[in-house]
Amino acid sequence: MNRMIRVIGLMVLMLVAGVPSAMADDFSVTLNTSSLSGTTQTFVFTLTDGDGAVDNTVTLSDFAFGGGNASGSPDYLGSTGVSGDLGSSVTLDDSSLGTAIFTQQFSAGSSLSFNLATTDLDSGATPDAFAMEICSASLSECYSDDPGGSGAMLILNLTGGTPSPSDFILFGATDQNLPAPVVTAGETGGDGNGGNGGEGGTTTTPEPSTIGLMASGLLVLSFLGVRRKESL
C-alpha cells in the first residue's frame, strides 16, 4: 500500500511539473512621440496564436499620451478575443485561434505610455507573439525600421518562463523620427503625462517566429481591403 501511495504521488508530481505556468508579468512601455505631436495616429495591437495549443492573454492599461488623447472608437477588425479601449484598458487573448487585432486612433502628444501585463505559456512549438504598431490615421502605413517588414515597433514572443525587458524586440522609425520604445519591468503608475517619453531602446534582430507577425500585418491590411470593397 505504501509503495502504491509513493507511485501515485510521483505521478502527480510529474503531471504538475508538465503543466506550464500561467504567471503574469508586468512591464511599462514608453515612447517619445514629439515628432508626431498634434497629428492623428492609430494604435494597433495584435496577439498571434503561433502554437495553436495553449492560450495567452495580454492586458494593456493606464494609457497616457503626454498632452494628447485617445479618440474615436476601437475597432477589432472582425477578430475575436479582444475587448476594451484606450480610455480604460485593452485585453487580447488567442483562445479563438488566429490573430486578435485591436485598433484605435489617438491624438499624439509629446509621449505615450502604458502598462503591459502578459501570461507566458508555450507549447514548445512556434510561440504566440504580441506586437505593437503605430500607424497612420488611415492605417495605410505603419512605422518601423524592422528589416523583416513586420511593421511593428515592439514584439514579444511568448516562449514560456518569465520574460524580461531584454526579451522585447524593439524598433525605431527613422522616417517619422521616432526612437525605439523603452520597456522596463513594473508599472508606470498612469500619471497621465505619458511617462518620460523614452529616448531610445535596445533594438535586436527579429527572431524567425516574427514571420507570424508579418502575416498578422498582412491580415490587418486584408481586413481593410475587404472593408473598402464593401463600401464601394
DSSP 173: B
Q: And the C-alpha cell for 77?
A: 477588425
b/e sequence 170-180, b meaning 16+ C-beta within 10 Å: bbbbeebebbb
Instruction: Tell me the domain boundaries of the chain.
Output: 21-231
Measure the CA angle with vertex 209, ends 204 and 213; round to 5°: 90
pLDDT tens-place string over residues 103-159: 999 999 999 999 999 999 987 778 999 999 999 999 999 999 999 999 999 999 999
Q: What is the pLDDT along the chain (232 residues), one digit of tens a residue?
A: 444 334 333 333 333 333 344 445 899 999 999 999 999 999 999 999 987 778 899 999 999 999 999 999 999 999 999 999 999 999 999 888 789 999 999 999 999 999 999 999 987 778 999 999 999 999 999 999 999 999 999 999 999 989 999 999 999 999 999 999 999 998 655 544 333 333 334 333 344 444 445 444 544 544 454 444 444 4
- pTM as predicted: 0.75
CB 47 within 8 A of CB 81: yes
Measured between alpha carbons, how far is 4 from 66 in angstroms, rounded to an integer? Answer: 64
Q: Which SS3 state, helix, strand or coil, does residue 75 take?
A: strand
